[in-house]
Amino acid sequence: MADNAWTPDSWRSKPIKQDVVYDDPKELEAVVGRVANLPPLVSSPEIDRLRAQLKDVAEGRAFLLQGGDCAESFDYCNPTAIEDKLKVLLQMSLVLLWGMRLPIVRIARMAGQYAKPRSSPYETVNGETIMSYRGDNVNSIDPACRRPDPQRLLQAYFHSASTVNFVRLLLDSGFADIHQPEAWDLGHVRNPEIRREYQSIVNRLTDSLEFMSVIGATSSQASALNTVDLYTSHEALLLEYEQALTRAVPKPLPGAEPALAGRKRPYEPSTPPRKALAPELCDWYNLSAHFIWIGDRTRQLDGAHVEYFRGVKNPVGVKVGPTMDPAELVRALDILDPDF
């Protein structure tokens, strides 16, 4: 195999940062094997649609809005918490849409943002040195339960699946219907002036929609007014888990029409194929989320995370901070997207 050949596990040959050491490697292997045989959380056509929409963002024809938690807790997987996050994202996107007159691409940091990179593997609590809290998919925030537990990876999968399922249910049920923006409660907003400004936008939007309805201008755009695309994202920190949800998807046949923004293409299998596909016949997608990114602590050019990210078809991000040299960023982009 060529030195630069990529496989879903080629990252294992590279030095890795922020890795988790488990007491029982065999238990970890069993859990990861279980995840690898579970259904994907998102689909490759959805990811391709996001890629097309992000192209519009890059070319100034749309605007990207990403929001959510720095780190999710399993406890956040409940209807109220999920609805509240969606309301905030919808409210923000409505204001941006009204003010910018551009389509808004919405990406939520949810349904998988369970891991936390840490500056040290240990911390001091009440005078005692214990393992750092690494996120709900590694250990517990309870100081008495800091041992990394592989079973939490399985819990992360099912909490992510439940969150994704409930988000789809809400969107399919008209939760994002732009005709009813007043239903996105503003109880969390304390500043009365902000509430008044938002209500003013809602009132003007409602008047515009009523006028369009009167003249019959809304029927052909019903789907765009009744729902939205909402994509999920997280920092792909734990590569064993990410590899387990990395699936081979057959490439489109020559001459096949590519997926376009706003258009859904037919279903394509995204579960592990019964027979291995030849590398030239497939693309690899991380189907744990639509969009994934490399954190500031794991962006080493010769490291495991950059190696993993360079082979997946998802749109990917790199967290860029003041410690990153511009030349290093250029080299990272050359590795992650050599065809750009």
Tens digit of pLDDT at every position of the chain (340 positions): 456 889 999 999 999 999 999 999 999 999 999 999 999 999 999 999 999 999 999 999 999 999 999 999 999 999 999 998 998 898 888 888 888 999 999 999 999 999 999 999 999 999 999 999 999 999 999 999 999 999 999 999 999 999 999 999 999 888 877 656 556 565 656 677 776 776 777 677 666 656 565 555 555 454 555 578 999 999 999 999 999 999 999 988 776 555 544 455 554 555 555 566 777 789 999 999 999 999 999 999 999 999 999 999 999 999 998 989 999 999 999 999 988 7
Local structure of 219: helix, strand or coil: helix
Among 276, 279, 275, residue whose Cα is nearest residue 251? 279
**Cβ burial, residue 206 (10 Å; 0-12/13-18/19+):** middle
User: DSSP label at 63?
Assistant: E
Per-residue tokens: 203: 């009132």
Local structure of 316: helix, strand or coil: strand
Q: What's the pLDDT score for residue 181?
A: 59
How far apart are alpha carbons 117 and 237 in whole angstroms? 8
What are the phi and psi torsion angles at 324 (to 5°)?
-95, 125
C-alpha torsion sign, points 168, 173, 175, 179: positive
Per-residue tokens: 297: 């602590």
Among 84, 50, 49, residue whose Cα is nearest residue 69? 84
What's the gap between Cα 246 and its chain centre? 14
How far apart are alpha carbons 51 and 44 in whole angstroms? 10
**Cβ burial, residue 330 (10 Å; 0-12/13-18/19+):** exposed
Q: What's the pLDDT score for residue 262?
A: 45
Strands 230-235 and 246-250: unpaired
Q: Beta-carbon neighbour count of residue 92 at 10 Å?
A: 15
Q: What's the pLDDT score for residue 235?
A: 98
How far apart are alpha carbons 145 and 122 in whole angstroms? 13
Own/partner contacts of 315-321, CB < 8 Å, gap of 24 or more, are: 315/47, 315/50, 315/51, 315/54, 315/290, 315/291, 316/291, 316/292, 317/291, 317/292, 317/293, 318/293, 318/294, 319/235, 319/293, 319/294, 319/295, 320/296, 321/296
Per-residue tokens: 73: 């807790």
- Alpha carbons within 13 angstroms on the beta-carbon side of residue 232 total 26
**Cβ burial, residue 20 (10 Å; 0-12/13-18/19+):** buried
How far apart are alpha carbons 205 and 203 in whole angstroms? 5
**Amino acid identity of 196?**
R
